[in-house]
Structure 1
Amino acid sequence: MTVQELPGAGASYRPTPPPSWRPRTEAAPLLPDAEPYRVLGTPAADKLDPELMRRCYAELVRGRRYNAQATALTRQGRLAVYPSTVGQEACEIAAALVLAEQDWLFPSYRDTLAAVARGLDPVQALTLLRGDWHTGYDPREHRIAPLSTPLATQLPHAVGLAHAARLRGDDVVALAMVGDGGTSEGDFHEALNFAAVWQAPVVFLVQNNGFAISVPLAKQTAAPTLAHKGVGYGMPGRLVDGNDVAAVHEVLAEAVHRARTGGGPTLVEAITYRMDAHTNADDATRYRDDDEVAAWKEHDPVELLERELTARGILDEAGIEAAKDAAETMAAALRERMNADPVLDPMDLFAHVYAEQTGRLREQAAMLRAELDAEAQG
């Protein structure tokens, strides 16, 4: 802004108008819908892909059984902790199925089911939660980043990978998953800001399950929705019913396509609910009542899809029983393998910490090796 001297005594000053200001991005197209997008139970369900929906159903049933089995393993002392996704299976399955083989999934600690649905061995997915290994699997094999226990730290990593892929000319999209609690972290802000500025091919999926452990969403943010936060960074925000697997898959598919074709990032908020406690170490009755949980059980993602598909003749009793049988087979194998005591090598503590071991790590490894050798000799 400049000032201009006016003629006359006293030499008065007045500001001149600054150059006209224009926003870099028009806000209106970025705003989410007023209500979560739905497919099941609406006219949009007429366009369901029967093959895709049958696969989604089988994965939902398997996912529900996987959650039950993993929770049981914590009670048996075979897992140190397990963050269940009962009630959130639609988000997990849609996120896994929407990606192409060359794409990358960046899960949070709660997203073991998404990793399994993408092809990861269920035992490997639980190895970190068992306390046996740093990650438990090779991230490059299925293009699944390590499960992220710190909140939202995987989001900047997803942006970095997606940006690097674009610079290299690789056809890669990153899909990063985070809970509503993670949106209160600085990493969330940094990731969305960089993604939008760089127009990185990345999709952010926020599973809004109502609570950051015991803290309800209303005590975390005053935003109209979490999807609205995308506007502040210059990316579209989408709001979707997170228990409607068809809707989540459609919204994520559009976001992945947009990212892949140069349209930049998208922030998707899926409204869902975790039926179980935060983890097996949490007492959810201290901060929510049974009536609230019961109301959400009426919107169970497995039952929603089953009712829709059977009503449309896409799924029959044989298909339902086949899905249940496959889930039981998976659970039995998982139970058997997890009940076997793992053979652990203490020297593995130093493996995969750095691409090349530092001098300090080599010193520590040598000290441990000497102690182990001395113990073995008597």
Structure 2
Amino acid sequence: MPGITDSTTRDDLSQSGDARENVTITGPGDAGTVRLLDAEGVRHPWPEHDRWLRDVDDGEAAAAGLLRLYEDMVVVRRIDAEATALQRQGQLALWPPLLGQEAAQVGSARALRPDDFVFTTYREHAVAYVRGVSPLELLRAWRGVVGAGWDPYAVNMATPQIIVGGHALHAVGYALGILADAERVSPDGTGDDGTAAAVAYFGDGAMSQGAVNEAFVFAGTWSAPVVFLCQNNQWAISEPVSLQSHVPLVDRARGFGLPGVRVDGNDVLAMLSVTRAALHRARTGGGPTLIEAVTYRRGPHTTADDPTRYRDAAEVAAWEHRDPLARFAVYLRGLGVLTADAEARVQDAADRLAADLRAAVAAIEDPPPLTIFDHVYTDSHPGVAAEREAYAQYLAGFADDAAGGER
């Protein structure tokens, strides 16, 4: 499979103690990393990967497809900025920014089919947006008014998993269910488009979690139709990726018998191509793939974090030069696709959406306190009923205080 390597074909890669050296990639194939669009917005032909991009490279629909990718990234960046501002103003309890990771998420999410099922962490806002989750649904859980933001089966995407790496096993379990429900097609992909697939998104820190490694074992053993997508954003909260691995994270795939591919996560076209290839492999009986998307978290881990305490400004500035939106915009302008009118339209759409989101968040009403017990179990449960009664009595005490009575 183009771009997929294993221990017999992949060049040895090494990584120094400085995580920034992981991304000194200058063109296609350098250091074994797939890159089709460099930091200057120059497209580098690479036939093995270009074949997955024919719909955005050729034909009348190509311009529309390219503009959709660009608009997705602009809109989710604007949503992210608005959510960060809302948290700073006390409208949200917390927010995990995605600034800098738009291409890794949009490119991979646009490779998915509607019948695929997605399992993510708490930072994949762009993936959720592409899957059809509304911006308000993205924010409600972070305001603390719901236990989860959306109906998973309406968009085939589970709500965010806060426990680091725990959902990787969920993805493998879902993929094994796909195998149980559907007839397998031949590995060469003949006959039809194959089964649906499951996708698990996680960060570089999750690669050291037991659940993720167990997921690799199960997926490899049973050739599960699952894609593991690690967004290596260089920092697991305050610890650099070099602390947990002295080799590129994708090299861990070979120990589990999985194919792996390393891709420039700030290149939306490379992300689209590599994810499509991995999904095709999963659908047609080829089993799981590990994708390491090399990107960067330019903001804090969450709005409760201060990244200036553990990384220097020069590092952030170096990554700003690799900005995924800027490079793609240069490429599209060169093609004549991103005209001034198109750019203004996209920005206006993003601004209007942000304004609507702000108004919608401000209009959210807090739910009645006792509704927290409503969906603990499908059927009534005496233990929950007792806890509900105890909490109701506790709340009633505050009503007595307000009336001037004694508790």
Q: TM-score, normalised by structure 2?
A: 0.82
* Cross-structure match for 1:265: 288
Match of 1:204 among 222, 228, 232: 228
Give yes or no for the alignment of 1:27 onto 2:4: no
CA distance in 2, matches of 1:265, 1:353: 34
* Cross-structure match for 2:17: none
* Cross-structure match for 2:45: 43
CA distance in 1, matches of 2:9, 2:220: 15
* Cross-structure match for 2:78: 65
Stretch deviating more after TM superposition (350-359 or 26-35): 26-35
Secondary structure of 2:338 counterpart: coil
CA distance in 2, matches of 1:353, 1:145: 18
* Cross-structure match for 2:271: 248
* Cross-structure match for 2:20: none
Residues paired across the two proteins, number: 353
Give yes or no for the alignment of 1:151 onto 2:164: yes
* Cross-structure match for 1:331: 354
Kindly state the Cα deviation for residue 354 of structure 1 after the two structures are TM-superposed. Answer: 3.5
Secondary structure of 1:105 counterpart: strand
Deviations 1:49-79 (A, max 9, x none): 4332211000011011111101001111111
Match of 2:103 among 77, 90, 111: 90
* Cross-structure match for 2:117: 104
The answer as to whether partners of 2:145 and 2:366 remain within 8 angstroms in 1 is no
Q: Give the counterpart letter for 2:255 in structure 1.
A: G
Distance 1:64 1:316, change over 3 A: same
Q: Give the counterpart letter for 2:251 in structure 1.
A: H
* Cross-structure match for 1:310: 333
Kindly state the Cα deviation for residue 242 of structure 1 after the two structures are TM-superposed. Answer: 0.2
The answer as to whether partners of 2:100 and 2:323 remain within 8 angstroms in 1 is yes
- After superposition, the CA RMSD in angstroms is 2.2
Counterparts of 1:1-378 in structure 2 under 5 Å?
27-28=7-8, 34-40=31-37, 41=42, 42-44=44-46, 48=57, 49-169=62-182, 171-222=195-246, 224-369=247-392
Kindly state the Cα deviation for residue 210 of structure 1 after the two structures are TM-superposed. Answer: 0.5
Distance 1:190 1:218, change over 3 A: same
The answer as to whether partners of 1:36 and 1:239 remain within 8 angstroms in 2 is yes
Kindly state the Cα deviation for residue 315 of structure 1 after the two structures are TM-superposed. Answer: 2.0
Q: Which has the larger radius of gyration?
A: 1
CA distance in 1, matches of 2:170, 2:219: 11
Kindly state the Cα deviation for residue 374 of structure 1 after the two structures are TM-superposed. Answer: 8.3
CA distance in 2, matches of 1:356, 1:37: 51
Deviations 1:276-325 (A, max 9, x none): 11111111111111111111111100011100111122221111111111
Q: Give the counterpart letter for 2:82 in structure 1.
A: Q
Distance 1:26 1:60, change over 3 A: closer
CA distance in 1, matches of 2:378, 2:67: 42
Stretch deviating more after TM superposition (364-373 or 293-302): 364-373
Kindly state the Cα deviation for residue 326 of structure 1 after the two structures are TM-superposed. Answer: 0.9
Q: Unpaired segments of 5 or more residues in structure 2?
A: 14-28, 184-194
CA distance in 2, matches of 1:176, 1:30: 24
Deviations 1:56-107 (A, max 9, x none): 0000110111111010011111111111110000112123211111111111
CA distance in 1, matches of 2:281, 2:309: 42
The answer as to whether partners of 1:162 and 1:201 remain within 8 angstroms in 2 is yes
The answer as to whether partners of 2:103 and 2:265 remain within 8 angstroms in 1 is yes
Q: TM-score, normalised by structure 1?
A: 0.88
CA distance in 1, matches of 2:126, 2:6: 37
Deviations 1:118-172 (A, max 9, x none): 1101111122222221112111110111201110011100110111121111832
Stretch deviating more after TM superposition (304-313 or 346-355): 346-355
Stretch deviating more after TM superposition (243-252 or 45-54): 45-54
Identity of aligned residues (%): 39
CA distance in 1, matches of 2:376, 2:8: 46
Q: Unpaired segments of 5 or more residues in structure 1?
A: 1-24
The answer as to whether partners of 2:6 and 2:258 remain within 8 angstroms in 1 is no
The answer as to whether partners of 1:156 and 1:191 remain within 8 angstroms in 2 is yes
